[in-house]
Amino acid sequence: MADRKPLISGNWKMNCNHFEAIQLVQKLSYGLTKDDIEAVDVSIHPPFTDLRSVQTVLEADKIPIALGAQNCHWEAKGAFTGEISPTMLQKLSVSYVICGHSERRQHFGETNEDVNRKVKAILKHEMTPIMAVGETLEQREAGEMEDHIVTQVLEGLVGVKKATVGELVVAYEPIWAIGTGATATPDDAQEVCALIRSTIGEKFGADAAGSIRIQYGGSVKPGTAPELMAQADIDGALIGGASLVPEDFAHCIQYRLR
């Protein structure tokens, strides 16, 4: 079994102008020790308009937090008004890009095919995709959860080389738990993360399954992070609301101490 370093990611969604973003990242850095950052990879995903400011602060203050984006287009450039390309993100030293977040799927009609194009474009530009998957409450109650998750995983990874799959991150985010305060129980989250890992194993082999990092996301808070992170197939967390509160996000990153 590969040694998977946990990755805790803060998805700021459509919050914080660039002045607020600078304050948030500085406050977060004050709350973290060198040990915290050595034990856990941390990424923050501000809105596009904040990326340059946050990049400058991270570099100037030598803060070892990775810069992430919340989305990108799959083309490198062209007539796609309002879109941001992976080339532009790479130039800003972005390391991780979330793709297929349920809010993008739900409000902007992103399909598994779109997500797959994004995954491949992000990899091509030497960044790491955080590919989000998750079921609605209706799908869970109708017993369709497994099929839905397996389809999202496999269709999102079409054409990705076996040797590359292990470098990716998949975020399991049950839609009913995002921003609602309802967290999946650690057992439920573990069950689906194990399903994702075995799906990867069957399609891409044991090395890919052993290396790929799987995050849980959905109302993670300092109080729930330790038990979720203790699960065998959970290698990190994708955190929305709590990542906007520097003390809470720092405490989630410090789950080992709680």
Residues that bind ligand PEP (CB under 6 A): 11, 13, 173, 178-179, 217-220, 238-242
Instruction: Compute the least distance from the CB of residue 217 to ligand PEP, in Å.
Output: 4
Amino acid at 124: K
Quick one: which of 133, 147, 144 has its CA closest to 216? Answer: 133
Whole-number Å distance between alpha carbons of 215 and 61: 28
Question: How far is the C-alpha of 236 from the C-alpha of 244, rounded, in Å?
Answer: 17
The Cα 140–Cα 148 span in angstroms is 9
Pick from 128, 135, 127, 131: nearest CA to 114? 131
Which residues, 6 or more positions from 223, have their beta carbon under 8 angstroms from its beta carbon? Answer: none
Pick 94 or 184: Cβ nearer ligand PEP: 184
Three-state SS at 112 = helix
Residue nearest to ligand PEP (CB): 240
Q: How far is the CB of 9 from ligand PEP (least distance, A)?
A: 8
Q: Indicate the residue among 63 and 171 with the shorter CB distance to ligand PEP.
A: 171
CB of 12 to ligand PEP, least distance (A): 9
CB closer to ligand PEP out of 208 and 253: 253
Q: Are 58 and 25 in contact (CB under 8 A)?
A: yes
User: In the bound complex, what is the minimum distance in angstroms from residue 143's beta carbon to ligand PEP?
Assistant: 24
Q: How far, in Å, CA of 189 to CA of 246, rounded?
A: 25
By beta-carbon proximity to ligand PEP, the closer residue of 209 and 220 is 220
Catalytic residue among 103, 110, 135, 173: 173
| Given the residues 45, 101, 125, 251, the one annotated as active site | 101
Q: Does the annotation count 173 as an active-site position?
A: yes
Catalytic site positions: 101, 173
